[in-house]
Structure 1
Amino acid sequence: MSWLASTLRSYPEIAIFLSLGIGYWVGAKTFRGFSLGAVTATLLAAIAIGQLDITISANVKSVFFLMFLFAVGYGVGPQFVRGIAKDGLPQALFAVVQCLLCLAAPYAVAKIAGFDVGSAAGLFAGSQTISASMGLATDAINRLGLAPGQGKALLDAMPTAYAVTYIFGTIGSALILAMLGPRLLGIDLVAACKEYEATLGGGEPAGGNRAWHQFEWRAYRVAEHGRAAGMSVAQVEALEPAGARLFIERIRRANIIQEAKIDDVLQPGDVIAVSGRRELLVDLLGGVAAEVEDAELLAVPVEGVDVYVTSKNVHGKTLQELAHGPAARGVFLRKIKRGATETQIPILPSTKLYRGDTLTLVGRTQDTSAAAKALGVLDRPADAADMAFVGLAITLGALIGAFVLHVGAIPLTLSTAGGALIAGIVFGWLRAIHPTFGRIPSPTLWFMNSVGLNVFIAVVGISAGPGFVAGLQNLGASLFLWGIVASAAPLIVGMYIAKYVFRFHPAILLGICAGARTTTAALGMICDAAKSQVPGLGYTVTYAVGNTLLTIWGMVMVMLLT
């Protein structure tokens, strides 16, 4: 044991990786649906390892924290900009109100309970489940000009308060929003979602987690006196009920297979390959058309592709509007993902698309290629990130953040961390509009986001380890109870404001609240309770605004208490 302790003190980088390994392993374990998560588990592992009195340079956590904050901003950029623009303004304004409540409650608790600045910053981060705020709070405390021992005591108190308050911050927030919220507000969540789906032009949302074979290609023979004989492909496709979306893809005529064009005229005896949703093919054609087996005709090159929406001509339009465009012919939409959390959006006629959305399309290769060109760009898997873009963007943001404006005797600055966050937002938004530069593949973005934060947390925990036990003994029970107040009060007040002031539809109200508090766990429980993905429609804009403001509030909390 002494050899291990000596080795970790001599090579502190090993202690960081040990903290990460234990943290990710323990954080992935679940007990009755609850898990600590990688961040909290890494922090606890690091605190335990930190009992060995290991010293790590503060520069290590700064490097990874800048990387993390840039990734956060990059991921939420398109939704953040849309939120402060016309489309999502009410939701963005509510997110600001909710974030102010989330700042006010921990601040009031800290003043009433007499917590020091470090404990207050940790209380805020844990009760609002916003780990990133500890980085900006750390920067703010370091700029206070305190004696080394006093500053370290405040920094050591922060992870203690975070660890104590985080558990209720996670579980309690989800329970309040998903279970208590509907009762307090008098909402029948299932009925509200069905009503909202009806207003969007549909019942059961299409897509979801269904298998690829929900879209099929079948062969039918054109009868001699059938309705389709003598009509063009476009005329036949127009015969089906609105929203049916059945397409004639290929034609076998005189034993010759040809690709169908919209002006081709069908003749008796033709065998046509028709694509569409399986239930439509069965219900609409099964009883009136003669289905035939023609493997060669149905050997259509079909693919499923992801398309990243960038076109301004698509931004803000509904699926119903886009379905009538020429680029939509022969293409079926399987999934819509939105935002850094890849929230799944229900596929309904009045669902709107926005820049930054990722669509999963199914169809013939030539059809999906045409649709991708009209919508944006194909989001094909890639291994390499544009690291020149990443490095220069973080540098620019950090340089801007390092600038200090003195107002009297008060120094005002974004800090390098705040600058990196804002740079991520700006360049993430630019990437959504001009996807020719700045590509960061999803696995790379995950690494920057998750590992960047957890390395920062590991260094914080290892450094705070020696003083953690004493801090827990002094503040443990009271801090936990005050954390419940700080977590619950803003959410409950926010729900009433969302209902009676902003008058959001009940189906998306709780999703809006969950996004403003950046609690993805709560959104999952809300969708389960609603038996629908509709609450996710309110999540993405408020998440983008909330994630940004709550992170910055870590610095603001320190400023308010000093």
Structure 2
Amino acid sequence: MNWIISTLQQYPELSVFLALALGFFIGNIKIGSFSLGSVTGVLLMGVLIGQFKIDISPTVKSVFFLMFLFAVGYSVGPQFFRGLKKDGLPQVYFAIIICVLCLLVPYLIARLLHYDVGTAAGFLAGANTISAVIGVASDSIQQLNLSAAEKTALINKIPIAYAVTYIFGTAGTAWFLATIGPKLLGGAEKVIQECKELEAQLGQSVSDNDPSLRSALNRVIFRAFKVEDDWFKTPRTIKETEEYLESFGNRLFIQRVKKGEKIFEDAEDVKIQQGDLIVAGGQRGFFLTDQDHVGREINDPQLLSFTVESLSVLIINKEVIGKSLKELFNDDNLEKKLHGIGLNRISRAGVEIPLAPGIVLERGDQVDITGLKSEVDKAAAFLGYADRPTTSTDILFVGVGVLIGGLLGAMTIHIGNVPFSLSTSGGALISGLFFGWLRSQHPTFGRIPPPALWIMNNLGLNTFIAVVGISAGPGFVAGFKELGLSLFIAGVFASIIPMFISLLIGRYLFKFHPAINLGGCAGARTTTAALGAIQDSVKSNTPSLSYTVTYAVGNTLLIIWGVVIVLLFS
């Protein structure tokens, strides 16, 4: 044991990886539906390892924290700026009000209980489950006119207060929004019914709410049939056949025709008649009645052995933006450019949204399409930018983005005698927002693949948290004993009061639909766990419709509050 401790002290970088490994292990352990999460797990393990008095250069945490903040901004940038447009402004205003409440309530409680600035910053971070405040507030405290020892003491209190309040901030908020939230909006049964009505307006089947069915119904498939229906006694063209099937509400495409032993593909002049074999492609839900209109399904390996492509496309075409899926596929001119294409899923700011006819496409949406390669390539060129899988990250884009943000954040403006600065961390966040939006406008550069973005987000934040925990370890136990229970109770009020007020504001002032209200509250508080709990509670995935814009606003403002809380106390 002594050898391990001395080795960690001699090579402190190893202690970071130990904290990460143990933290992710502890954080992923579930008790019922609750888990600590990786961030809290890494923090606690870092504190435990920190008892060995291991010194780590603060530069390590700064580098990883800047990487994390830039990635956060990059992820939500397109939705953040989209929300500033007219149609998204109510949700933006709602998110701003929630974020202001999430600042004022912890601030007032901290003042009432006479917390110092370090405890108040950690209290704000934990109650609102916004881990990045730890770094932003620490940077801001470093700018105060205090001695080095005083700054260190205050900064070391931040993770203590965060750890005490974070657990209820996460689990408590999810429970409150999912269980109490619907009751405040008219009752659970009423909210469930209103969500079903919203789904009907969007054209989404209520049965899609069952996760075991939803993924199947949204998946594009290809099936083979033997043509037996009497309608085909007269030979029909492929176009006539597709129009015939569409008259029954089924948007399907004939991909191949087999006559005897000969197979035809992309042959418009081929006529289909009784006895022929065909392959139709489309979403699974469209096949439910086809055997009544075509013939029995068959298994012909030769006929079904052909190549299809699935591709993710970034929506940037102005002809498509602002149109619902129903409008898109009912417009003859546009539909021709999407012939043979089926939709697998739509995601907005990384959050999957309902695949329903009433969903309106926005710039920067990610649409997964499937079909023959020639048709997929044609559709991708029309919709926007084909986001083909790659492992390459535009490091030039990332490096310049973090550098510019850091330089801007390092600038200090004096308001009276008070120095105001976003700090390098706040600057990196703002830069990430702009560069993420820039990428959505010009997708030919600035690519950060999802796996790389995941590494920047998770490894960046958790490495930062590991170093914070290890550095604060020696004073953590004493601080926890001093503040533990009272701070935890205060954190309960700081987490719940803003959500309670926000739900009422959303209902009576903004008059939001309950699904939009609940999803907006979860988004502005940046609690993905709450979104999942809400969707389970209301038996609908419609709350995700308001999550993306409010999440983008919340993820920006709540991090900036790390600077504001220090200014308010200083």
Task: Pick the TM interval, shorter chain.
Answer: over 0.9
Structure 2 counterpart of 1:238: 243
Residue 502 of structure 2 is matched in structure 1 by: 494
The aligned residue for residue 250 of structure 1 is 256
Cα gap change, 1:9 to 1:530, in 2 (>3 Å): same
Deviation at 1:254, TM superposition (A): 6.7
CA shift for structure 1 position 163: 0.4
Unaligned residue ranges in structure 1 (runs of 5+): none
Aligned twin of 2:345: 335
Query: 1:532 is matched with which residue?
Result: 540
**Aligned equivalents of 1:3, 1:274: Cα separation in 2:** 67
Question: Residue 455 of structure 1 aligns with which residue?
Answer: 463
The alignment partner of 2:318 has SS state of coil
Residue 120 of structure 2 corresponds to: 120
CA contact (8 A) 1:220 1:273 kept: no
> What amino acid maps onto 2:315 in structure 1?
V
Which amino acid in the other structure matches residue 245 of structure 1?
Answer: R
Measure how far apart 1:323 and its partner are: 1.9
Quickly say closer, same or farther: Cα 1:76–1:282, change in 2 above 3 A. Answer: closer
Distance 1:3 1:293 in 2: 66
1:157 shift after superposition: 0.8
Report deviation, 1:252: 3.3
C-alpha separation in 2, matches of 1:547 and 1:87: 20
Q: Work out whether residues 218 and 285 of structure 2, in 8 Å CA contact, stay in contact via their aligned partners in 1.
A: no
Q: CA 1:181/1:268 → structure 2, altered by over 3 Å: closer, same or farther?
A: closer
Do structure 1's residue 394 and structure 2's residue 402 form an aligned pair? yes
Secondary structure at 1:540 match in 2: helix
- Does the CA-based 8 Å contact 2:156-2:472 persist in structure 1? yes
Q: Which moved more, 1:247-256 or 1:369-378?
A: 247-256
1:518 aligns with 2:526: yes
Report the counterpart of residue 17 of structure 1 in structure 2: 17
SS of the residue 2:369 aligns to: strand
- 1:413 is aligned, of 421, 427, 444, to 421
Deviation digits for residues 471-502 of structure 1, max 9, x if unmatched? 11111111011001100000000011111111
User: Which residue of the partner structure matches residue 226 of structure 1?
Assistant: 231
Secondary structure in structure 2 of the residue aligned to 1:84 = coil
- Is the contact between residue 401 and residue 416 of structure 1 (CA under 8 Å) also seen in structure 2? yes
SS at match of 2:215: coil
Which is further off, 58-67 or 329-338? 329-338
Indicate conservation of the 8 Å contact 1:401/1:413, yes or no. yes
Deviation at 1:443, TM superposition (A): 1.2
Q: Which whole-Å CA distance do the structure 2 matches of 1:102 and 1:234 have between them?
A: 57
Q: Distance in 1 between matches of 2:203 and 2:285?
A: 18
When structure 1 is superposed on structure 2, of 288-297 and 519-528 the one drifting more is: 288-297
Deviation at 1:85, TM superposition (A): 1.6
AA aligned to 1:500 is: Y
For residue 282 of structure 1, report the CA deviation from its aligned partner. Answer: 4.2
Code of the aligned partner of 1:486: A
Secondary structure (helix, strand or coil) at the match of 1:382 reads: coil
Of stretches 495-504 and 188-197 in structure 1, the one that deviates more from structure 2 is 188-197
Q: Per-residue displacement from partner, 1:501-534 (whole Å, max 9, x unpaired)?
A: 1111112221111001000001011111122211
- Indicate the residue corresponding to 1:65 in structure 2: 65
TM-score under structure 1 length normalisation = 0.94
Residue range with higher mean Cα deviation, 119-128 or 140-149: 140-149
Q: 1:282 to 1:546 in 2, by over 3 A?
A: closer
Cα displacement (A) at 1:561: 1.0
Give 1:253 shift.
4.6
Q: Answer whether contact 1:205 1:348 (CA < 8 A) is retained.
A: no
Residue correspondences, number: 559
**Counterpart selection for 2:197 from 187, 195, 198:** 195
How far apart are residue 262 of structure 1 and its match? 5.5
Corresponding residue number in structure 2 for 1:557: 565
2:131 alignment partner, SS class? coil
1:358 aligns with 2:366: yes
Q: Distance in 2 between matches of 1:274 and 1:9?
A: 65
Taking a change above 3 Å as real, the CA distance of residues 440 and 179 of structure 1, as seen in their structure-2 partners, is same
2:162 matched residue in structure 1: 162
Q: Which residue is 1:174 aligned to?
A: 174
Sort the Cα spacing of 1:124 and 1:370 in 2 relative to 1 into closer, same or farther, 3 A: same
Contact kept, 8 Å, 1:189 with 1:529, in 2: the verdict is no
- Shift of the alpha carbon at 1:265? 5.1
Confirm or deny that 1:43 pairs with 2:48: no
Change in CA separation of 1:262 and 1:198 when aligned onto 2, cut-off 3 Å:
farther
Question: What per-residue deviation string (whole Å, max 9, x for no partner) do you get for residues 185-225 of structure 1?
Answer: 214332122100111123237684228876232233376x6
- Measured in 2, the distance between the counterparts of 1:198 and 1:213 equals 20
* Counterpart residue type for residue 342 of structure 2: F
Give the AA of the match of 1:314: V
Counterpart-to-counterpart distance in 2, 1:114 and 1:549: 25
Q: Distance in 2 between matches of 1:429 and 1:557?
A: 28
Equivalent residue of 1:210, what SS? Answer: helix
1:470 matched to 2:472? no
**Ranges in structure 2 where 5+ consecutive residues have no aligned partner:** none
Does the Cα contact within 8 Å between 1:221 and 1:292 map onto a contact in 2? no
Matched letter for residue 565 of structure 2: M
User: How far, CA to CA, are the matches of 2:136 and 2:420 in structure 1?
Assistant: 13
Aligned to 1:146: 146
2:303 corresponds in structure 1 to 297
Indicate the RMSD between aligned Cα atoms, in angstroms: 2.1
After superposition, the C-alpha distances for 1:232-257 in whole angstroms (9 at most, x for unaligned) are: 43333223337420212223357543
Distance change in 2, residues 1:232/1:489 (3 Å): same
Cα contact 1:201–1:349 (8 A) shared by 2: yes
Letter in 2 for 1:148: A
- Note closer, same or farther for the CA distance 1:29–1:292 as it changes in structure 2 (3 Å cut): closer
Q: CA, structure 1 residues 405+353, in 2 after alignment: closer, same or farther (shift >3 Å)?
A: same
Is 1:312 aligned with 2:318?
yes
Counterpart Cα distance in 2 of 1:438 and 1:238: 42
